[in-house]
A and B are shown apart, each in its own frame.
Chain A
Amino acid sequence: MVNQLLKTTLRTKLVLIVAGLIGVISVFIYIYFPTRLEKVQMSSMETKAQQISRVIAYGATPALYFEDRDALNEIFAALLQYEELLWIQVLRPDSTVFVEYRRQPDNAAEIKLQKPSSPPEFLTVVQAMEYNDRKIGQLCTRFSLKTLEAEVRLSRFRIALISVSLFLFGVVAITILSRIFTRPLKRMVRTVEQIIAGNLEERMKINTDDEIGFLAREFDNMMERLSAAYRKLDDLNEELEIRVESPTAALRLTNVQLTAELAERKKIERELSAERIRLITMLRKISEAVIITNLENRVSIINRVAAEITGWNEIDAIGKLVADILKLPASPRHQKTAQTIHEFIREQTGENSAYLTILDSQSREKRLSINIVPIRTLFGEKSGTVFIFQLSDEPSGSGLSDLKEYQA
């Protein structure tokens, strides 16, 4: 129940709680006040009866003392105005009745007077009568409580009416008040929902001077600032897009060009690869040893004949300096042998061919007839060197001796 109450809206909570409070107050009023009123009225009736009895006794005492029945009749006649007074009896000290007065039995109360055993409907007061400090008799009076009961019933009905009216009025009032007070809150909730849905231009527009109005105004101001920031951000984005658009186009063009170039290059590479494979295949088929180096004089291709002559494994030879593969006999100048040989051959013969002795991988000397051809691009730039050689039967001391001398 409490959980269900907690889940309801603020207005419903307010209405339920205040209506409950008013209901409790109304029930309290309905229960407490009639009882209290009845007690007060009963007490008031008792006081009134005692006072009337005292007044009657005051007037009746001389009449009893002087046995003036006329005076008593006058007194009793004057008491007719008290409708509650049903019965008066003046008794002598010996309890004999001096005078008795009974209202005419014209209603049920008078009939019941004959049965004094029903005390709730009557109030009986006994008053001593004294004259000159001597008791001369007593006065018994009996009052009807019908009027009192009728008044209590009427009061109870009125209080019930007031309680119900109070409850209904309270419920209606709190419903209206809760509507008035929660209307701004409802408006705020709707606005927040709109903003959550993406409508940043929605505003609360509450112009009251209370806390809710302050909160709403500050929220609207905050949303104004936020909207302005978003607009500014959008403007910056647009500007950035404009700024970035032309370089992007150039880049896109470049990218296209590069892609095309890359494709061309890949095509060329494929062709080159094919060419290389054909070259390697061709090199493997021929009977001469061939070593091809790059610009850094490192071996990029070595065929099987060259590998057998040099004693190097083809795979191990790839990437090695050609001077390590075609190693000349020990000499501090062997590092430069290939170049020196190349330069020497070109200088001596105008061709890059000669005889020379190398050390294979087992350090065995081998006599080679070698031809060295530079590789050039279409633009004439050197891109590598081709070493073509074979074992030679040429004895040392010919042209190659000149080389040895040069090496020494």
Chain B
Amino acid sequence: MVTRNNLHLSLNTKWVAVFALLLLFLNYGEAQEIPVPVKLQFQLFVKILSFDKNLEKQTDDSLRLAVVCQSGWRQSDRTARSFLAEAAADESLRIQNLPLAVRRHHLGTIPELRKFLVAEKIDVVYIGPLRAVAVSDITALTRELRVLSLSGVPEYQKHGVSVNLNIKGATPEILINQKSAKHEGADFSSRLLHLVTIIN
């Protein structure tokens, strides 16, 4: 039973507890680390998207990409900013002859995300490192809206993200969930598929 006296812990004890909690959060964040640098991720996703045969059909005049992140978590925010910076670095970048437009979305609730995706006519979603969020809810939404989901967090492949990046040895490994990708309206060329790891 917790008594008031018990709550009166010494100052040192309080700092130890705070440090322990901090370590706990840090460990949680490390579990969602991204093995492939964001710059390389951006370049690879641009290449991967160029092999989507349905991309041109599903977009209007430009390819709209949303970066979903959590502003309250530094790693997620930093990843998102890095991704945006890479996209902004080359203004003349075109994928399948479509200009790329990148939007940032601070993840709140799933309905808010749905609203954002619909309002912005998003074609592709890049899911940054997230915590305390059910990624499968996000992928269910992307399947519903036929928005292709990308992520640099390898663990998210288990939750139905269509395209993931991992490191295998010293080289990046592309993981494609073909079933999920089809549900999201993507049709990748066999020239890409025979180079990647297919997950069904």
Contacts and interface: CB of A to CB of B under 8 A. Distances in A.
Interface of A: 59, 61-63, 65-68, 70-71, 131
B191 interface: yes
Chain B's interface size range is under 10
Contacts of A67: 190
Contacts of A61: 194
A70 B189 contact: yes
A70 B194 contact: no
9 contacts: A62-B193, A63-B191, A65-B193, A66-B190, A66-B193, A66-B194, A68-B190, A70-B53, A71-B189
A62 B53 CA distance: 15
Nearest to B51: A71
Nearest to B194: A62
Contacts of B193: 62, 65-66, 68
A131 B198 CA distance: 14
A62 to B, nearest CB: 3
A53 B53 CA distance: 26
A408 B53 CA distance: 192
A66 B190 CA distance: 6
Interface string B137-149: 0000000000000
A295 B189 CA distance: 167
Nearest to A60: B190
B138 to A, nearest CB: 27
Interface string B175-200: 00000000000000111011000000
Greatest chain B CB density within 10 A among A59, A61, A66, A70 is at A66
A232 B189 CA distance: 114
Nearest to A58: B194
Q: Which of B189, B190, B191, B193 has the most CB of A within 10 A?
A: B190
Interface string B52-64: 0100000000000
8 closest cross-chain pairs (CB), A and B: A62-B194, A68-B190, A66-B190, A62-B190, A63-B190, A71-B190, A66-B193, A71-B189
Contacts of B194: 61-62, 65-66, 131
A59 B191 CA distance: 7
Nearest to A132: B194
Instruction: Pick from A59, A70, A71 the residue with the most CB of B within 10 Å.
Output: A71
Given A61-B194, A66-B190, A71-B189, 18 more contacts: A59-B191, A62-B190, A62-B191, A62-B194, A63-B190, A63-B191, A65-B190, A65-B193, A65-B194, A66-B194, A68-B189, A68-B190, A68-B191, A68-B193, A70-B189, A71-B190, A71-B191, A131-B194
